[in-house]
């Protein structure tokens, strides 16, 4: 089975509203978007003037309830989220896209099913495939209305995933630099990180 989903998504994302969002790292602006095709809501956190000042420090982050909010040690998602927000705050300018595509697009309950298969010995890619999904089901075409609304034309992208570089460029944003997000491994996510590097092509060095 192909490592990545090749779905075609008819972009139906529209901007809803913006507000301020005070965080531990600084006061961000939060922008809400809604995808009429799926009913999912996505947000972008921004800091500073994105239309002026050159390439925007950017992170595309897929929702991970277990890692982002429940502090799971099975992945590196929560640590990457924190590191990206901290980096944007330190720079004083940037954008973090928070996309509601849990479990690389398979959803929360299916991710729990995949966890069960991983408990029994499967890796993260094998688990998805045994459930009938591709290794990565995320659809990055939903980014286009968001980057156009924000006026982002060039980016310095914080990611270990080369697919995100290609995906952002497909939406009309020139990625002038890829910045690796390095986080500490632990006994619970070592196999997960090896699989991301070996089967999904993630690059943990800049």
Catalytic residue set: 136, 138
Structure tokens at 68: 């982002």
Looking up tokens 């277990």, which residue turns up? 66
Give the residue ranges of DSSP H helices in the chain.
77-91, 102-105, 108-119, 124-130, 143-150, 162-170, 190-199
Alpha-carbon span 58 to 72, nearest angstrom? 24
The continuous run of DSSP H or E covering 61 comes out as: strand 56-62
Which tokens go with 94?
A: 């940037």
Six token digits for residue 48: 């500073």
Q: Which residues, including other chains, have CB under 8 Å from residue 62's CB and lie 6 or more apart? A: 77, 99, 101, 102, 104, 105, 138
Describe the strand order of the beta sheet including 174-179 as a list of residue ranges. 13-22, 27-35, 41-47, 94-99, 56-62, 154-158, 174-179
């Amino acid at each position: 089975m192909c490592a990545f989903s090749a779905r075609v998504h008819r972009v139906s994302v529209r901007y809803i509203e913006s507000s301020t969002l005070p965080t531990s790292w600084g006061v961000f602006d939060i922008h809400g978007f809604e995808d009429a095709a799926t009913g999912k809501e996505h947000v972008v956190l921004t800091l500073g003037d994105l239309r002026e000042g050159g390439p925007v420090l950017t992170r595309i982050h897929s929702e991970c309830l277990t890692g982002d909010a429940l502090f799971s040690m099975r992945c590196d998602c929560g640590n990457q989220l924190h590191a990206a927000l901290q980096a944007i705050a330190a720079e004083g300018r940037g954008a973090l896209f928070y996309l509601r595509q849990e479990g690389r697009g398979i959803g929360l309950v299916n991710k729990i099913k995949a966890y069960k298969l991983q408990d029994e010995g499967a890796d993260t890619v094998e688990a998805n495939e045994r459930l009938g999904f591709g290794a990565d089901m995320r659809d990055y075409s939903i980014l286009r209305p968001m980057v156009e609304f924000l006026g982002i034309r060039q980016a310095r992208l914080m990611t270990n995933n080369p697919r995100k570089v290609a995906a952002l460029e497909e939406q009309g944003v020139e990625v002038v630099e890829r910045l690796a997000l390095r986080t500490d491994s632990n006994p619970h996510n070592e196999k997960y990180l090896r699989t991301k590097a070996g089967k999904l092509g993630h690059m943990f060095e800049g």
